[in-house]
Amino acid sequence: MRRVPTLSQQSIDTIKSTAPVLEIHGTSITKRFYEMLFTSHPELLHIFNHANQKQGRQQTALANAVYAAALHIDRLEAILPVVKQIAHKHRSLGVKPEHYPIVGQHLLAAIQEVLGEAATPGILQAWAEAYGIIADAFIGVEADMYRQTETQAGGWSDFKRFRIARKVKESDVITSFYLMPEDGAPLPTFEPGQYISVKLEIPGDTYTHIRQYSLSDAPGKPYYRISVKRENLLAERPDGKVSMFLHNETKEGDVVLISAPAGDFTLNQQDTRPVVLISGGVGLTPMVSMLQTLAATNPQRQVTFIHAAQNSQHHAFKGHVEELASQYPALSFYWCYDKPTASDRAENSFHREGHVSLDWLQSIVPTSAASFYFCGPVPFMKAVNSALREWGIPEEDRHFEFFGPAGSL
């Protein structure tokens, strides 16, 4: 990680004094910021996720980040690991250095407008100084990522044309897309748990849509596989537009634009301890990639695979995991359904009815001296994280991935 220049003590004191105000008004500031940004630069709507904007998730995530920066401005080195996580998303989306001055200009303007007279020249100057330092850190980290991505074997910059080689229905709501480069070039490898960005032009929409999907197969294949849940397209859930388009409108042979794999939610393959993979809903996609990799490269490592779904109709890769378990004795699996069907009960095809809980985890996971990975809807991850924390699992052994803007558990 690059070393971050330090702020003057006066600027540090000024910014820290704004933290209580930002805690109260942070979301109002970021909401106004995005309004101003897109009014002045509508072309940036080609990059930003429109659904996250409409649902307020992006505004909340940015407000939390600004508040965290104010709280920890005297030790920026401590919060820079988060820079790398966000930088992965930026590189995957195509964020460039020239975007940062634009963002800084409108963020300061939003602070000034929302806070009014409370935003003194001294406060604005301190935040301008801090933003410049933080932006330079992002630009530097992202430049390294762009360079590494483009120069790796089979790598490319920005977006590349891929053909949908196959569409495979995995459950009533999840379909897998097998993507192969249109030019036939070899694919760069990736770390299990990483994702790619898919850029689509939907007929009738002014701006392109970009969505990030976890890779759901092991590296080393001649294709990338993503497994997408079809979300219902509702006014209060605008995130369904892209998934509905992929499910209903695309067909084998169609071309989509793909960015190279990114993300820091990755399986530590040097760790020899038991590993526990816990997923909810479509959150199983990175877990399947990790499981496939473990089965292929380290079949002796003890793995507990736990998946929560509504029922078997919503349960993707069920048969595949069960088949893997028959080949690898070190793998055990458990299914948790909160709305099992009559057929599920008759066939006894699941292990627990209800939700994942601490007592159930303790009854099926052989040891707490393991590395835990989990992914799924935010309420699910909060419950799992709380259970693991209560169990005494150290923070460094609890690894999780958010779909969309990073939040807090």
pLDDT in tens, 350-373: 999 999 999 999 999 999 999 999
- Confidence at residue 1, expressed as pLDDT on a 0 to 100 scale: 46
**CA dist list (Å): 172 to 186, 286, 312:** 32, 19, 9
User: What is the reported pTM?
Assistant: 0.91
Dist CA 270 CA 85 (whole Å): 21
First to last CA, the chain: 25
State the sign of the Cα–Cα–Cα–Cα dihedral 77, 81, 85, 88: positive
Burial degree of 24 (CB within 10 A; 0-12, 13-18, 19+): exposed
Question: Annotated binding site, which residues?
Answer: 90, 195, 211-214, 281-286, 402-405
Q: Tell me the CA distances in angstroms from 310 to 7, 168, 278, 313, one per residue in order.
A: 51, 20, 15, 8
Given the residues 67, 129, 131, 142, select the one marked as catalytic: 142
Contact 215, 224 (CB under 8 A): yes
Reported as a pLDDT band with limits 50, 70 and 90, residue 54 is: low
Q: How far apart are CA 217 and CA 126, in angstroms?
A: 47
Portion of the chain with pLDDT greater than 90, in percent: 71
Averaged pLDDT score across all residues of the chain: 90
Q: Give binding residues for heme b as ranges.
A: 90
Q: What pLDDT is stored for residue 304 in this prediction?
A: 98
Residue ranges for the binding site for NADP(+)?
281-286
| Model pLDDT, residue 349 | 92
Which of 34, 67, 100, 334 does the annotation list as catalytic? 100
Least confident of 136-150, 273-287, 328-342: 136-150
Contacts of 90 (CB under 8 A, 6+ apart): 138, 142
Percentage of the chain lying above the pLDDT 70 cut: 93
Whether 373 is catalytic is no
189 vs 197: CA distance, rounded Å:
15
More confident residue, 408 or 162: 162
| Residue spans of beta strands (DSSP E) within 90-220 | 159-169, 174-181, 195-200, 209-214
Q: Return all residues near 369 (Cβ < 8 A) that are at least 6 apart.
A: 273, 274
Whether 100 sits among the annotated catalytic residues: the reply is yes
Closest CA to 56 of 80, 27, 84: 27
pLDDT > 50? residue 235? no
CATH numbers and ranges of domains, the chain: 9-151 (1.10.490.10), 159-259 (2.40.30.10), 275-401 (3.40.50.80)
Binding site as annotated, residues for FAD: 195, 211-214, 402-405
Q: For residues 179 and 173, give the distance between their C-alpha atoms in angstroms, rounded to a whole number.
A: 19
Per residue in 324-362, is it b (16+ CB within 10 Å) or e — as a string? bbeebeebebbbbbeebeeebeeeebbebeeebeeebbe
Task: Measure the CA–CA gap between 233 and 239, rounded to whole angstroms.
Answer: 7
Is the pLDDT higher at 409 or at 399? 399
pLDDT of residue 404: 58
Spatial distance between the Cα atoms of 132 and 70, rounded to a whole number of angstroms: 14
DSSP letters for 213-268 = EEB-S-SSSSSEEEEEE----BTTBTTHHHHHHHHHT--TT-EEEEEPPB-S----
Tokens 């569409």 correspond to 167
- 87-91, 177-181, 195-199, 291-295: range with lowest mean pLDDT: 87-91
- Give the confidence band of 233 by pLDDT, cuts at 50, 70, 90: low
